[in-house]
């Protein structure tokens, strides 16, 4: 690949993009010029810097090249480092700035490494900032208040259309950055009642009468999945 120097910096033609060049400082250049008013584009000798911009959905800079619009950090890496290895993506490091596409700040890396970077610098979309978040701040407060008031986790799970585990993780502070974590005085430390053989028999009887697992779970203050496990023989007495 032919390399030249421009203003003291390395410059290479972008693979598959005739007339367009990547410079090691992260800028994109072109020798295409337009003559007249009919978009008569021709290749010249002079280099002109290509305008780059980001979008509301992504902070990464893009440039219009010969093949169309492309992400600048991908262009830089493919030009100077080589094709993207399978399962890899661009990493901005050590300067964790999406606008800094200088060659010494870019590398191919695994997605896990990028996620660790985002967590470390506080830019990872976690908790309520995640577009896939199950709860809003208001709902987290409602769930905590309802649980402290005596409601069971499986009831809250049904109300918010999530799993009981999601409610448990929230109240234990495992998810959402600990926003839903309970104070020590609000935690329930007592073990749940064990269902004896008589109650298990009653579960089968109620199911035979046509009650749903949800209805039986409410009677015995258990989760719907626990009732299902009893009926399918996975759990008989000790819950």
pLDDT digits (tens, 9 = 90+) for 15-42: 999 999 999 999 999 999 877 665 678 8
What tens digit of pLDDT does each residue of 135-180 get? 998 999 999 999 988 888 888 988 999 988 889 888 988 788 777 7
Burial class (CB in 10 A: 0-12, 13-18, 19+), 138: exposed
Starting at the earlier edge strand, list the strands of the sheet with 52-53. Answer: 52-53, 62-65, 68-71
Does residue 141 share a domain with residue 50?
A: no
| Tokens encoding 162 | 């999530």
87 and 174 in a single domain? The answer is no
Q: Look up the pTM and report it.
A: 0.57
Number of domains in the chain: 3
Domain span at residue 54 reads: 3-121
Helices and strands in the chain, H and E counts: 8, 10
Share of the chain above pLDDT 70, in %: 86
Do 73 and 146 fall within a single domain? no
Q: Are residues 39 and 87 in the same domain?
A: yes
> Residue 165's domain is classified under what CATH number?
1.10.10
Separation of alpha carbons 49 and 205, rounded Å: 79
Predicted confidence (pLDDT) per residue in 86-142, tens digit: 999 999 999 999 999 999 999 999 988 887 887 677 676 666 667 778 899 899 999
Residues 42, 148 share a domain:
no
């Amino acid at each position: 690949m032919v390399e030249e120097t421009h203003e003291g910096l390395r410059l290479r033609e972008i693979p598959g993009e005739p007339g367009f060049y990547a410079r090691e400082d992260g800028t994109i250049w072109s020798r295409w010029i337009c003559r007249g008013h009919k978009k008569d584009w021709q290749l010249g000798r002079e280099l002109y810097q290509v305008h780059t911009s980001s979008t509301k959905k992504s902070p990464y800079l893009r440039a219009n090249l010969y093949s169309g619009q492309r992400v600048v950090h991908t262009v830089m890496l493919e030009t100077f480092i080589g094709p993207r290895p399978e399962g890899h993506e661009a990493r901005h490091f050590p300067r964790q700035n999406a606008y800094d596409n200088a060659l010494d700040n870019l590398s191919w890396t695994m997605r896990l490494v990028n996620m660790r970077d985002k967590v470390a610098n506080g830019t990872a979309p976690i908790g309520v900032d995640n577009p896939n978040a199950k709860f809003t701040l208001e709902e987290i407060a409602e769930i905590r208040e309802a649980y402290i008031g005596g409601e069971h986790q499986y009831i809250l799970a049904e109300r918010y259309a999530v799993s009981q585990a999601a409610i448990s993780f929230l109240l234990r502070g495992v998810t959402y950055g600990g926003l839903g974590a309970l104070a020590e005085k609000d935690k329930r430390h007592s073990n749940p009642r064990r269902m004896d053989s008589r109650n298990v028999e009653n579960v089968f009887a109620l199911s035979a009468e046509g009650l749903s697992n949800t209805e039986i779970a409410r009677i015995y203050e258990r989760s719907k999945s626990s009732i299902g496990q009893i009926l399918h023989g996975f759990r008989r007495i000790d819950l």
